[in-house]
Amino acid sequence: MSVKASRNNVQPLLNVYANVQTRGSSLVPYETLGSPGTGEVLAPAELTQGGIRLATIYQGGLQLNMPLRNRIAQADAARDALQLRQAQGRTAKLENDIRQQIENAAIAVENAHQAYAAAVESRNYQQQLLQAEIDKFAVGASTNFMIVQDEAYLAQARSTEVAARSDWMKGSLVAGSGPGQSAGEEQYSV
């Protein structure tokens, strides 16, 4: 709106006007008020109608203003146009930033999901190794140290799995959807 207003200040301006006036006088010729002999007061008719009508005046015309070399108005129009382009540029940049943030969040959620899936596989693998070590111990082919070591590895794998699931859940909540769900759904189980 500011740009349009500034551009209008550079354009020619045409005014059209019209006027009608009725001129009169409240002065009436001298008359004796009242009727002779009756004592009733009579007022002249012109006095009750606002006076004697003397003339009606009709006026009309056109007024054209041509701004010649109005440098102030031209500078204002250029400044407002530049400010409008800057605001449009900021809006486009903001849209691009938002789009980039959404894409980054989606990638982060996918990466967190893949890390969680890898942690689950690692925990399963460590559990199988522990079970194999327990079976070897049962037949006398292993030691207690090896079983304790595999239990420590399994505990570490479980800890990694919990951390990966936590990262995935946090990323999903920031992105607006729970793990394995569409946007808008919520998941409360851990």
The domain of 145 spans 104-175
Give 147's pLDDT tier (boundaries 50, 70, 90).
very high
Look at residue 86 and tell me if it is in a domain. Answer: no
Q: How far apart are the first and last CA of the chain?
A: 54
Burial of 29 (0-12, 13-18, 19+ CB in 10 A): exposed
Note the pLDDT of residue 55.
73
- Specify the higher pLDDT residue, 179 or 172: 172
- Stated pTM of the model: 0.50
Number of domains in the chain: 1
Look at residue 133 and tell me if it is in a domain. Answer: yes
Look at residue 129 and tell me if it is in a domain. Answer: yes
Look at residue 23 and tell me if it is in a domain. Answer: no
The 10s digit of each residue's pLDDT in 151-165 is 999 999 999 999 999
The 10s digit of each residue's pLDDT in 93-135 is 999 999 999 899 889 899 999 999 999 999 999 999 999 999 9
The 10s digit of each residue's pLDDT in 20-79 is 887 765 555 545 555 566 656 666 555 555 555 667 888 899 888 777 777 877 788 888
Look at residue 4 and tell me if it is in a domain. Answer: no
Structure tokens at 44: 């002249």
Note the pLDDT of residue 49.
53
